[in-house]
Amino acid sequence: MAGLKHKVATLQSALSNLSYRLRNIVSGSKPVHVVVCGPDDRSAQAVMGRLPQLFSARDITVVWGQALWAKNIRSRVIVSWDPDDASRAEAISSELSLTRRVVFVLTVADPRELVCERSPHLPHHFHQGADYRLHVDGRTRSMTEPGALSRSRDVLGIIAQENLTSILVRREDLHTAPDRVDREVARVVRELGGPAVTSQQSDVATETGEPPADLHCMAAETSRLDGQRARFPDLDEVAVSLQYEPLPEVKPGALVTPRGLIIAFHTPDEVYQAEADRLRKSLDALGLDYQISVVEPESNWVRTTLLKPTWIAPARKKLRGPLLYVDVDAYVHSDPWPYVADLDADMAAVVYKDGQLNSATLWVNDTQEANSLLELWAEGSGSRRESDQGTLRETGDDGDQGVLQMIVEAEEARAVRRFRFGRLTPNLAAIFDRTEHYRFGPLVIEQLQVSREVTRRSKRLSRRHDRLKELSD
pLDDT tens profile 315-339: 999 999 999 999 999 999 999 999 9
Q: Average pLDDT, stretch 254-260?
A: 78
- Phi and psi at 345, nearest 5°, equal -155, 180
Per cent of the chain over pLDDT 90 is 67
Q: Across all residues in the chain, what is the average pLDDT?
A: 87
pLDDT of 217 reads: 40
CA-to-CA distance for 307 and 327, rounded, in angstroms? 13
Q: For 8-31, give the DSSP string.
A: HHHHHHHHHHHHHHHHHHHH----
301: nearest Cα among 267, 274, 326 = 267
Sequence-distant (6+) residues with CB within 8 A of 44 are 36, 37, 38, 81, 83, 107
Query: Is the CB of residue 155 less than 8 Å from the CB of residue 39?
Result: yes
Q: Average pLDDT, stretch 141-166?
A: 96
Which is higher by pLDDT, 51 or 434? 51
pLDDT of 206 reads: 59
pLDDT tens profile 189-234: 999 999 988 876 655 455 555 555 444 444 457 888 988 998 899 9
Q: Average pLDDT, stretch 335-349?
A: 95
pLDDT of 179 reads: 92
Residue 28: pLDDT band with limits 50, 70, 90:
very low
Of the CA atoms within 13 Å of residue 464, those in its CB half-sphere come to 20
pTM: 0.87
Q: Average pLDDT, stretch 46-57?
A: 93
Domains along the chain with CATH numbers: 30-256 (3.40.50), 261-472 (3.90.550.10)
pLDDT of 24 reads: 47
pLDDT at 373 over 80: yes
**202 Ramachandran zone, left/alpha/beta (phi>0; psi -120 to 50):** beta
Q: Average pLDDT, stretch 152-162?
A: 97
| Residue 430, strand partner residues | 446
pLDDT at 251 over 90: no
Q: Average pLDDT, stretch 340-344?
A: 92
pLDDT at 142 over 60: yes
Residue 26: pLDDT band with limits 50, 70, 90:
very low
pLDDT of 254 reads: 61
Residue 44: pLDDT band with limits 50, 70, 90:
very high
Q: Average pLDDT, stretch 394-410?
A: 86
Residue 139: pLDDT band with limits 50, 70, 90:
confident
Q: Lowest mean pLDDT: which of 181-190, 199-208, 256-265, 286-295?
A: 199-208
pLDDT of 21 reads: 52
Of the CA atoms within 13 Å of residue 363, those in its CB half-sphere come to 29
